[in-house]
Amino acid sequence: MLRNRTGLVLLTASAPAVWGSTYLVTTELLPPDRPLLAAVLRALPAGLLLLLLTRRLPKGSWWWKSLVLGALNIGIFLALLFVAAYRLPGGVAATVGSVQPLLVAGLSAALLGQRLALRTLLAAVIGITGVALLVLRADARLDAVGVAAALGGAVVMATGVVLSKRWTSPAPLLATTGWQLVAGGLLLVPVALFVEGPPPSSLTGENLIGFGYLTLIGAALSYALWFRGIKALSPTEVTFLGLLSPLVATLLGWIVLGQQLTALQLLGALLALAAVALAQLRPRRKSADPLTPEPQQVRVAASAR
């Protein structure tokens, strides 16, 4: 049982780890200054591919639920992320976004009736501190609109995580994932056309490789693993795994781009990992009678694609 849970956590963690590679792929392989185009081509083709494979459409209330979840988890989230990325240094945006586990904790208590534990709050503070040390720069500038967008992105993603746990789809996982990707991608299309204009008339081989990676690995596979984790684990356990994204992005910048790492960044990486590990720990349960099975207790939730 423990081994199965560990494997599930590791598979779920691979999603934010893949998302951490998005910055490198975007800067090295994709057309410049087209983040919304990248978001559309990341979500919409992946969703259509999953719909083609599963041949399942939403039924009943899942038409509007898919639209809501797709907007929160993908469409609105990526649009706000785009605004934050353009108006803030990456370190500020990532640090503001790292409050997401704390937001999920509060939403889980309000919407799922789950208890907010001191361990979760401690892990959230450690995680925010770790991300700040990892990516925040001393000369980082603040912009009110950018900070609001980054915080808004954290809020909508946190809401999407909790609602994904609250609403259990009767359809297979890949079908539900496809519905959300299509809904989020369609919402992004008019925004991308308005802000960036039509797509470039020609794409290079590197561009196609980059878009292919974002579609197949960065969306279809990673979102399926992410939503599978949300279904099987608590929102708290899942959302803290999102701290791996800035960690992987920094690590790839060091390995691939030759960027320097300071002692404070290394400390931040260790703190971020400590927060992830602390959030995955389960409290020990005591039973009055060792021969009597323990009643199932409500686990703490709080949390983060």
pLDDT tens string 159-211: 999 999 999 888 999 999 999 999 999 999 999 999 999 988 888 999 999 99
Residue 183 and residue 74 in contact, taking contact as beta carbons nearer than 8 Å: yes
Top-confidence range, 100-114, 181-195, 280-294: 181-195
Query: Rounded to an integer, what is the distance from CA 205 to the centroid of its chain?
Result: 28
* 21's tokens: 């590679």
pLDDT recorded at residue 67 = 96
- Count the residues in the chain: 305
pLDDT recorded at residue 235 = 92
pLDDT recorded at residue 34 = 87
* 293's tokens: 């099975």
Return the domain boundaries, the chain. Answer: 2-280
Residue with tokens 């992946």: 46
Asked if the model's pLDDT at residue 140 lies above 60, the reply is: yes
Helix (H) or strand (E) holding 5: helix 2-19
* 68's tokens: 């809501």
User: What radius of gyration do the chain's Cα atoms show?
Assistant: 19
Residue 117 binned pLDDT confidence (cut-offs 50, 70, 90): confident
Buried/exposed 141-162: b ≥16 CB within 10 Å, e otherwise: eebeebbebbbbbbbbbbbbbb
Burial class (CB in 10 A: 0-12, 13-18, 19+), 60: exposed
- Name the average pLDDT for the chain: 86
Residue 292 has φ and ψ, to the nearest 5°, of -105, 130
Residue 284 binned pLDDT confidence (cut-offs 50, 70, 90): low
- Lowest-pLDDT range of 139-148, 185-194, 290-299: 290-299
Report the predicted TM-score, pTM, of the whole model to 2 decimal places.
0.86
Residue 45 and residue 215 in contact, taking contact as beta carbons nearer than 8 Å: yes
Largest CA distance in the chain: 72
Residue 283 binned pLDDT confidence (cut-offs 50, 70, 90): low
Q: What is the mean pLDDT of residues 12-18?
A: 94
pLDDT recorded at residue 3 = 64
Residue 119 and residue 278 in contact, taking contact as beta carbons nearer than 8 Å: yes
Top-confidence range, 46-50, 117-121, 260-264: 46-50
**pLDDT digit string, tens, across residues 212-269:** 999 999 999 999 999 999 999 999 999 999 999 989 988 988 898 888 888 999 999 9
Q: State how far the Cα of 9 lies from the Cα of 174, in Å rounded to an integer.
A: 18
Residue 81 and residue 19 in contact, taking contact as beta carbons nearer than 8 Å: no
